[in-house]
Amino acid sequence: MDSSSLVNCVLSTHKPESWDSMTADTEVHLAELFVYNKEFTSVRDKIRRTLSVDVSRVQRVQNPYIYGKL
């Protein structure tokens, strides 16, 4: 299996459906989550439980190589 095939295999099997699409030459992608997004709200609410801060921006780190290993 060549490296391009391996990358395509990883990208097609190791990612949640909520992720933005990624090309085979992209190992990591930062996805901006918008305020009305359910994922943004979830992250913001978890942060607010421990910190008194205003969350105005959330980015999701998409890396299929480490997804599910943390």
Tokens of 9: 């295999």
CA distance 48 to 11: 33
Domain residues of the chain, as ranges?
3-62
Q: Is the pTM of this model over 0.75?
A: no
Predicted confidence (pLDDT) at residue 6 exceeds the cutoff of 70: no
Predicted confidence (pLDDT) at residue 5 exceeds the cutoff of 60: yes
CB half-sphere exposure, 47, CA atoms < 13 A? 13
Predicted confidence (pLDDT) at residue 1 exceeds the cutoff of 60: no
pLDDT score for 20? 85
pLDDT in tens, 38-68: 999 999 999 999 999 999 999 999 887 787 7
